[in-house]
Chain A
């Protein structure tokens, strides 16, 4: 780990790293989360998400699809994120996720696709509230 993923004490909107390869689904999620007040870093692949983590850009939560094109998938991204920041809220979206795989990736929550963007926002808000209450 080279830099922290977030900057404690800095007043800013929560930043959500969003990984979804389907562009129209991603656009819908982005708009819903931005309207809710989040800064959204929108990634097409888990590799892009990993690039963001490795850059040190402060991230407060991850919402990721599991099956994305490229060398790693959303669960591998979740594993790397967990290794970097043990308390980072991670929400996984998938139509095909095996419970054992989700547990191995140490994700905080799982929503089965298809899922509405409002349901994703609501689940993310609960995760962030829990994270804040434990801080």
Chain B
């Protein structure tokens, strides 16, 4: 089974991308920051194959620095930077399509729509 590391600071985005990928039959680990991603890579034996990283990751270490570190330290990991919510969902769909196990569980557009709806409700509250 392939293992995907999803790195996104927004819990609503991270959770829905991760659940979509889990429904595809992939193992998924969620990190909210570059520091957490580093912890999972350096301190566990999760055997991560793909890192799906929000390109606008906030914090002291940005997504590009994380990508450079992963590429140097774990050259076998495929790193995908997503520049927008739309591209993150699209990339998750691509990862799902390439996976060896299950087909896409549901339309990726429904994931995008749900994330947008929940974020809008959060921001209204």
Contacts and interface: CB of A to CB of B under 8 A. Distances in A.
A49 B122 CA distance: 11
Contacts, number: 52
Nearest to A28: B44
B119 interface: yes
- Interface secondary structure of B, over-half rule: helix
Given A55-B121, A55-B122, A24 B15 contact: no
Interface stretch (B25-33, B68-76, B84-92, B99-107): B25-33
Interface string A1-35: 01100000000000000000001100100100000
Interface stretch (A40-48, A106-114, A115-123): A40-48
A41 B55 CA distance: 22
B44 A27 contact: yes
Contacts of A85: none
A18 to B, nearest CB: 11
B56 interface: no
Contacts of B65: none
A39 B23 CA distance: 11
Given A52-B11, A54-B125, A23 B118 contact: no
Nearest to A1: B125
A48 B11 contact: yes
A53 B119 CA distance: 11
Contacts of A44: 11, 32-33, 36
A51 B122 contact: yes
B15 A54 contact: no
Nearest to B125: A54
A24 B11 contact: no
Interface of A: 2-3, 23-24, 27, 30, 39, 41-44, 48-49, 51-52, 54-57
| Shortest Cβ-Cβ A-B pairs, 4 listed | A54-B125, A55-B118, A55-B122, A44-B32
8 contacts: A23-B39, A24-B44, A27-B40, A42-B11, A44-B32, A44-B33, A56-B121, A57-B12
